[in-house]
Chains A and B, each alone.
Chain A
Amino acid sequence: MAVAEQQTSAITRPILAAAEEAKGVRALRRRFLTLSLILLLLTALLSGWLGLRYVEQRLEAEILPSSRAIGTNLAQQFEVALAAGVPFDRLVGVEPFLATAAGFDERVAFTALLDPEGQVRYAAGPASNALPAQLPISARSDRLLRIGDQLAEPQPLHSDEQLQGYAVVGLYATLTVETLRNFRLAALLIVLALGVLLREMLVGILFQNLDRPAEALSRLSEAVEQGDLSRTTWLEVPGRLGHLIDAFRHELVAVNGRFHAFLLAAFATRAGHFDPATLREVTDVVRRCLANYRLPPVAGAWPVSLSEAGLYRLAAFSLLLGEALLAPSWRVLPALAEEGPLDAVTLSVLPLLLALPVGSEMARRLLVGFAPSLIFTAGALIAAASALSLVLADSLVALVALRLLSGVGIGMALQPFGKSGVLPHALAMAFVAGAPPGFLALLLVGPEVTAPVAALVIGAAGLLVGQMLPAGEGAPEEDEAVTKEGTSWAGLLPAAALAGTGVLLPLIAQLTIGATRANVSLLLASGLGILLASVLAHWIKLRPRPAAIAAAAAAVLLLLGAFAWGTETFGPLLVPALILVVVVFLGPRPMVSSTPAAATLAAAGAFTGSLLLTSAVGLGVALLLPAALLLLFALSWRRT
């Protein structure tokens, strides 16, 4: 038990220390994110409310002709009876007749026969009991009647050119429960997707413009406090914070210059004197002064190392976002239109998964010495080109070839930061942010538009975000620890579990409930599955206790079970999913090692180091033992 506590303490101490170190900046960052989330939700609420009112207004234009059409017909029938000589007060069988008309459509709330003063004589229909005895009929041309949530247009009955009464058909003017439910689901998906998208964008901007300068200052202050003047930073940041970094950089140069000037003066003094006592005195002064300081070599100062994790995550997210946008199109791509759903998934997903490690390995072996930014851009452009060509693929062979090429490109692009621990989170976020808009776009415009849009996103990721990546050689600092850890089973199993979760959920749904297509629920299930695993992994990492692991495993299994139960039950799961995203939005950054605590989060790297490989190989295993893998995944965190 004591050993376990020591392990816990060893794991959490650096994380807590890092959190304490950047407390001010973290608080500011959190406020920015909170404000943006509040504004997003408020805009969504207001837009949704106003939009629904507008839809109701639009529907009124259709409700009135319906009321008029049915009412006119009723009036004609009554007029036939009146023309036959039956007085208005002696009409018989009116209510069953009205009930027949009221039962024609579920939107009909009531059908009624009124006398010329507007008094209700006969009424039928589900809302007929709530009708007032007298309806406000006016002689104006605008004879619209609004009774509660119902709309009607009274139709006059004439006999011998005398007004005998009115036939009124009231229709429900509010949106149906099903329509509202559909809109709520669509709105939730949109808010969820855009919330994640906004969060990732803001986190990227804040990482580049706030976190990194603050980290640079922190690293420099640590170095200078310890007397190391040989360190500097070449970070370029726009705005006042950039000026501050500049000012400190110049001040460091100035201080170093003064030290060198002092050394020159000391050497000159020594050169001008031959008295051994004076020489010793000068030497003592130099020794005392430099005892606590380390000066830069002649070639110049070394830059302090800064975390690149945020940039890597932004790059991975933007690249995978394109793939996620494209994902709903798989089923309807021309070459797959005639295939079964399982074949469609297999033919579009598996080539990609198989080619990912190939591309990654190719980049690792062939592109030695190239800058990460260049490798990422080249890979992203290959993936963009293959995504763009997808709609032109007229055969399965061409489709599989393009998916393989896409996989090679993505594998290449992700290779520079495959071990930085950012991929699961980026993948999950990309699925949550990309699949719903991709699905909406597919419904509205089809794959011939969504595929180029996805290609555009992937290309933009390569060209724009790729330029933000480090241009120089060298992998992130945490690589060593990660590589070492990545060879162990502890690193491999979580990756298999994650990879399995992503691909497994749609397959389970298709095999067990026979879902006819890879719809948005299934895609979201994949994204949320990975996201949940990622968040839980972070949570377990901080609390490596059996109860926490058991709770996490139970939550994962529960979610799996809920998803596998059927897509119909997915709707209610969106609310907890939304809460989960809010927690991620405001909570700790899972899998991002932007601090010296990266070493303790080495498993995160191992976790993704083998992710790509096990995605392909682990599929078969994951199909057989999903629950066991997820449990092992949770347990392996404890071991690391």
Chain B
Amino acid sequence: MRGALALRLTLALGATLFLLVMLFALALDALATQSERDLREGRYAYILAELKQRVEAPLSLGLQVESLDYLQRLLEREAAGDPDILSIDLFNSSGDQLFTTDADDIRSAVPSSWLQDTQNLPPPESEAEGRQEAYWLAEERDGRVVGVALYNDFGLLVGGLALRHQVTDVGESLLDPATLRLLAIAAVATFFGGLGFWWLNRPLERQTEALIAAVKERLKAPEALVPPGPLDRDGLRLLEALQEAERRCAAATAEVEQIDGRS
């Protein structure tokens, strides 16, 4: 078959380029997902910081968190503002859940790890030193959690706020138009690669064709008919050596026939 070598090389190139763009798409998707998550968590941390201010303000008046019924509406309003928020929970220093926006939630206390993370946050006086330390982050089975600690005027921990939100997993948005665009680039590159391989292979193909014709038709002076190419040295040398052997054999045969005929 003509172009068999070019075809094989094109297939290998195509497979590699396909793999390349798929790995690029995966890496970019991972990067975008991570950046989106960072941005989203920054926003949720801001929302929690605002809520924290609103919860802590009445505490300085001597009120108990449990008595602030309007907080339920406040939490629900914030949670309703973003479809990715799964729930916002307000809990006391023992981990008992005081308010939550999760209608399906049947638990009365938040997980102990949340309480632990909240207790590990720095006290209010050192909070301003590092932004990262003002809230905690954790993995959840169906998303992630951002949390802040609540303090009273004396700097004592009175509870915490936790916001659970959905996350997009890497690979979920892999089959989108952007990946198709990358695949199209790979296809175009493969096409040009195929053209290039075919074009580069032409001298070899032409020379091979001419050599086949020269061998089969026993052409005389093949070097004049075979175009230059990669097989200049070996193909022509072999052809000439075979023709030389044939010439000698024919000459010897003629000589023997001549001897036979003469006598």
Q: Which residues in A have some Cβ–Cβ distance to B below 8 Å?
A: 21, 23-25, 27-28, 31-32, 35-36, 39-40, 42-44, 46-48, 50-52, 54-55, 58-59, 62-63, 65-66, 69-70, 73, 103-107, 175-176, 179, 182-183, 186-187, 190-191, 194, 197-198, 201-202, 205-206, 209-210, 214, 217-218, 220-221, 224-225, 227, 229, 238-244, 247-248, 251-252, 255, 258-259, 261-262, 265-266, 269, 272-273, 275, 278, 281-282, 285-286, 288-289, 292-293, 437, 440, 443-444
Residue of A whose beta carbon sits closest to that of B229: A24
Write the chain A residue with the least CB distance to B11. Answer: A205
Residues of chain A contacted by B245 (CB below 8 angstroms): 224, 227, 229, 255, 259, 293
What's the dominant secondary structure at chain A's contact region?
helix
Is B110 at the interface (CB under 8 A from chain A)?
no
Residues of A within 8 A of B260 (CB): 265, 269, 272-273
**Known contacts A24-B233, A224-B242, A444-B171, A248 near B215 by CB under 8 Å:** yes
| Complex-state Cα separation, A444 to B70, whole angstroms | 43
A282 near B256: Cβ-Cβ < 8 Å? yes
CB atoms of A43 and B43 under 8 A apart? no
**B12 A201 Cβ-Cβ under 8 A:** yes
A-side contacts of B26, CB under 8 Å: 440, 444
Cβ of A39 and Cβ of B13 under 8 Å apart? yes
Tell me if B42 counts as interface (CB < 8 A to partner A).
yes
Which B residues between 128 and 158 are near A, CB-CB below 8 angstroms? 131
List, in ascending order, chain A residues with CB within 8 A of B23's CB.
Answer: 190, 194, 437, 440
CA distance A23 to B186 in the complex (A): 32
* A125 CB to nearest chain B CB (Å): 14
Q: In the complex, which residues 241-259 of chain B have their Cβ closer than 8 Å to any Cβ of chain A?
A: 241-242, 245-246, 248-253, 255-257, 259
* Chain A residue at minimal CB-CB distance from B252: A289
Assess A285 versus B259: contact at CB under 8 Å? Given A24-B231, A187-B27: yes
> How far is the CB of B167 from the nearest CB of chain A, in Å?
12
Most buried by B among A62, A182, A206, A275: A62
- Is B212 in contact with A28, judged by CB distance below 8 angstroms? no
Query: B36 at interface (Cβ–Cβ under 8 A)?
Result: yes
- CB distance A444 to B30 under 8 Å? yes
How far, in whole Å, are A106 and B39 apart by their CA atoms in the complex?
10
A73 pairs with B50, CB closer than 8 A: yes
Chain A nearest CB from B142 CB (Å) reads: 19
Whether the pair A39, B2 counts as a contact (CB closer than 8 A) is no
Interface residues of B, Cβ cutoff 8 Å to A: 1-5, 8-9, 12-13, 15-17, 19-21, 23-28, 30-32, 34-36, 39-40, 42-43, 45-47, 49-50, 82, 131, 170-171, 173, 178, 181-182, 185-186, 189, 192-193, 196-197, 200-201, 203-205, 208-209, 211-212, 215-216, 229-235, 237-239, 241-242, 245-246, 248-253, 255-257, 259-260, 263
Contact A282 B259 (CB under 8 A): yes
Known: A24-B231, A229-B245, A272-B260. Contact between A59 and B39, CB under 8 A? yes
Q: How many whole Å from B132's CB to the nearest CB in chain A?
A: 10
Picked from B205, B235, B259, the residue with its CB within 8 Å of the CB of A217 is B235
Q: Decide: A440 and B27 in contact? CB cutoff 8 A.
A: yes
A376 to B104 CA separation, bound complex (whole angstroms): 60
Chain B: CB-nearest residue to A281: B259
CB-CB under 8 A for A47 and B32, given A21-B233, A224-B241, A265-B253: no
Q: Select one of B186, B205, B238 contacting A220, CB under 8 A.
A: B238
Closest 8 interchain pairs by CB?
A239-B4, A24-B230, A289-B252, A221-B238, A224-B241, A217-B234, A221-B237, A54-B178
How many Å lie between the Cα of A289 and that of B259 in the bound state?
15
Q: Is the CB of A265 within 8 A of B256?
A: yes
Cα of A198 to Cα of B40 in the assembled complex, Å: 39
Residues of A with C-beta under 8 A to B201: 28
Whether B20 contacts A40 by the Cβ 8 Å rule is yes
With contacts A258-B250, A440-B27 taken as known, whether A244 is within 8 angstroms of B182 at the C-beta atoms is: no
Find B31's partner among A183, A198, A259 (CB 8 Å cutoff): A183
State A275–B9 Cα separation when bound (angstroms). Answer: 66
For A47, give its contact among B40, B50, B182, B208 (CB under 8 Å): B182
B196 touches A190 (CB 8 A): no
- The answer to whether A205 touches B27, judged by C-beta atoms less than 8 angstroms apart, is no
Please determine whether A58 and B230 come into contact, CB atoms closer than 8 angstroms: no
- Is the CB–CB distance between A105 and B42 below 8 Å? yes
In the bound complex, residues from chain A placing their C-beta under 8 Å from that of B238 are 217, 220-221, 224, 248
Most B-side CB within 10 Å, residue of A24, A59, A227, A258: A24
Compute how far the CA of A285 lies from the CA of B260 in the bound complex, rounded to whole angstroms: 12
With A55-B35, A275-B263, A285-B259 known to touch, is A243 a contact of B212 (CB < 8 Å)?
yes
Cβ–Cβ contact B32 & A58, under 8 A: yes
Tell me the complex Cα distance, A261–B257, Å.
12
Q: Is the CB of B32 within 8 A of A59?
A: yes
A residues less than 8 Å from B196 (CB atoms): 35, 39
Pick the residue among B34, B39, B200, B235 that contacts A35 (CB under 8 A): B200
Is there contact, CB below 8 Å, between A179 and B27?
A: no
- Choose from B8, B9, B32, B208 the contact partner of A244 (Cβ within 8 Å): B208
